[in-house]
A and B are shown apart, each in its own frame.
Chain A
Amino acid sequence: MSFEEHIRRNLNNHHSEVDTDALWNSIKDDIPTEKEDKRRRFLFFFTLISVSLGSIFILSQGDLDDPTYLSTKVEITTPSISSIEKYIDNVDTDAILSITKNTKKKRNLSQSKEFNKPLVKRSSTSKIKKANNSSSTIHKPTIVSSSNLNHSIPTDIQNQKFIEVLKDQIRTILPKQKEEELNIFAAELHQAEMIQASLLPEIAIEELEVPEVEDLEYEETEEIRAAFDDERDTKFTFGFSLGSGKVNNTFSPNFPSQREYVDKLNRLQKSSYYIDYSFDLMMAHKSGVYLKSGFLVQKNKTVFNPNSTLVEEVIQNQIPNLNVTGTVYALENGNQNEREETQEPVTTVMTSVYSRPQSLKSKSLTQTNYALPIILGYQFGKGNFKIGVETGVMVNLFSKIKGNINTPYKEQWGINLQQGLSLSYDITPEIALNLAGQYRFTPSSVTESKASYSLKQKSYGINLGLKFNISE
């Protein structure tokens, strides 16, 4: 028996003395528990799903100022005669008339924010509720903002006459109205003001009737159009982008005999990167919250160092009474060979490692993933610049794999999680340039459980794209 065999025989079965209690006490508080990991994962997904659902709900609600969203418990404040008088006296005739400024484009008045904004200066914010027995639309009075309507057109005599007629009508009608009807009347008066403003040149005041709201049109100025864009609750954009970045692959053995092979895969990665391109539709609420979804293709390529040509078979200390079959791989002269390996009950220990000449050809692995991104974000900014913070999932629809390092890969492997930061610049009101950085990772393996190894991926990268406003 040689000296080295003597050492091996003596030391491989040697046990040192250890104060196991002291050792246990020193590590027990540092042991990560599965429960903590599960709790952390649960909290992450719970928060993500809650925020997503909450945002979808908010975005789907549309205009939060719409009176139909007022609770039935909202107190109804009935305007008094004096307040209605005051309401009439405060009609901003300049603002009314400014809407009629000559322009080329026409817009349906009933869909406009400007229409929903009363042209009455009012200090209180009394809540007005839609009456059950009326089809009239009642709008919440707010203070007039005429910053976008700063065209001063002199008040003409027709408008003055119109106001006087309205005042007379109210004085006649008021005593006969019930409280609820007064409310409705106040709103109708507001509508009448708007209608009159748009129709003054065409109709005689004596023939004034309230037409259907849907039929109304008014002529639009650039300023009014800008006001429409600024005040739209939800904007839609279509975007496309190209990106690239670094991929970090982590290979883990599924079979103990593959540990050496997988260690090599981990160590001998020469380079790993991705390119991607995506199309998406983004729905952004004026609060800054946005939801984005679309289609993404990500191509990952990993190149392995050519020095990784080693054949090895390491089958050690197999546990009796276990029969497990799996595919075992070995690298031979740059080619990958595979065979089925069944771990039968054995009592022997075999360790053999064989070296083979190096191959000069690099090996590579290319994955193409097709995914549906669902991204939730928040953006803020000033002027033409916006910064966005986002998180979400990339639902993998299907994957294709090719290369020299083969193992059974899942065709559909679940989700990628993504976090990102974006910077966008509005080149025009319709087009924005977008630069974003992302971090993505796969929480579960992209290989089948019967594969010789599992593979998890992380990637860091940036992409550049354009967004088009499609809200019109």
Chain B
Amino acid sequence: MTEQEIIRGCQEGKAQYQKELVVRFSPMLMTVSRRYSRDNESAKDNLQEAFIKIFRYIGRYKPTGSFNAWMRRIVINASLQSIDKACFKREISGLDELLDQPSTPADAYAHLGAEELMNLIDQLPNGFKQVFNLYVLEGYSHREISEVVGITESTSRSQLVRARNYLKKMLVKRDRIRV
């Protein structure tokens, strides 16, 4: 069953194609959902919500671009809607100690696989995590992030700087422990 057939079948409301879409794309979309959710359970909830939206609006999807990108965006929006926007502001203060720029040797992260990287990013405070994911993994600009999550551009920039420093610090710490 090709992607085009699945899309067409879903647009016609056929259950077998809808199930195939869930089976084929949920692992990829779950990764996206996990990145923007507090924990695994809320990631599942957000993914369910996103799938319902995908099936509701798939009739409007026109096959002139990436279906994956279209679905990812829905998952991101569904996940962002579920988080507490106040976390972006709360996490500005109290973490200034992270602003010193630790250097990050390449061998400190070269060995890290996807799951370890995800666990590492998961340890970021919630606001940092969302901004980091949107900027680094989704390619959003600070202006777009500010519009999507409802913060100012300068807040987005400072959250990103803090997220990077936080990650670097954690990497250095892990590297010391590993050694």
Contacts and interface: CB of A to CB of B under 8 A. Distances in A.
Contacts of B66: 256, 316-319
Nearest to A317: B66
A191 interface: no
A259 interface: yes
Contact of A7 (B26, B64, B136, B139): B136
A436 B28 CA distance: 52
Interface in B32-57: 34-35, 44, 47-48, 51-52, 55-56
A35 B59 CA distance: 12
A24 interface: yes
B43 to A, nearest CB: 8
A1 B137 contact: no
A32 to B, nearest CB: 5
Nearest to A256: B65
A351 B141 CA distance: 11
Contact of B113 (A10, A18, A317, A355): A10
Interface in B138-177: 139-141, 143-144, 147, 164, 167-168, 171
B27 A34 contact: no
Given A7-B136, A33-B13, A355-B143, A14 B70 contact: no
Interface string A1-30: 101101110111011111010011011101
A257 B171 CA distance: 37
B101 interface: no
Given A17-B27, A24-B23, A3 B104 contact: yes
Classify the interface of chain B: helix, strand, loop or mixed. Answer: helix
B105 to A, nearest CB: 10
Interface string B6-33: 0000011101001100110011101100
Given A23-B44, A322-B64, A355-B143, A8 B27 contact: no
A353 B117 contact: no
Interface string A186-214: 00000000000000000000000000000
B78 interface: no
Contacts of A316: 65-66, 69
B114 interface: yes
B178 interface: no
A216 to B, nearest CB: 67
Contacts of B55: 27, 31-32
Contacts of A16: 27, 30-31, 34
A183 interface: no
Interface string B95-114: 00000000010100110111
B64 A28 contact: no
B81 interface: no
B7 to A, nearest CB: 10
Given A255-B65, A317-B66, A12 B137 contact: yes
Contacts of A15: 27-28, 30-31
A33 B18 CA distance: 11
A298 interface: no
Contacts of A8: 136-137
B121 interface: yes
A27 B48 CA distance: 6
A310 interface: yes
A6 B164 CA distance: 13
B139 to A, nearest CB: 5
A11 B70 contact: no
Interface in A227-244: none
A355 B141 contact: yes
B123 to A, nearest CB: 14
Contacts of B19: 24, 28
A347 to B, nearest CB: 12
Given A7-B121, A11-B118, 13 more contacts: A3-B167, A6-B110, A7-B117, A16-B27, A17-B27, A18-B27, A32-B55, A34-B11, A35-B13, A255-B62, A256-B66, A317-B69, A322-B63
27 contacts: A3-B104, A3-B167, A6-B109, A6-B112, A6-B117, A10-B112, A11-B35, A11-B137, A14-B31, A18-B26, A18-B44, A20-B27, A23-B48, A24-B23, A27-B51, A31-B55, A33-B13, A256-B66, A256-B69, A310-B143, A316-B69, A317-B69, A319-B67, A343-B64, A343-B65, A353-B140, A355-B141
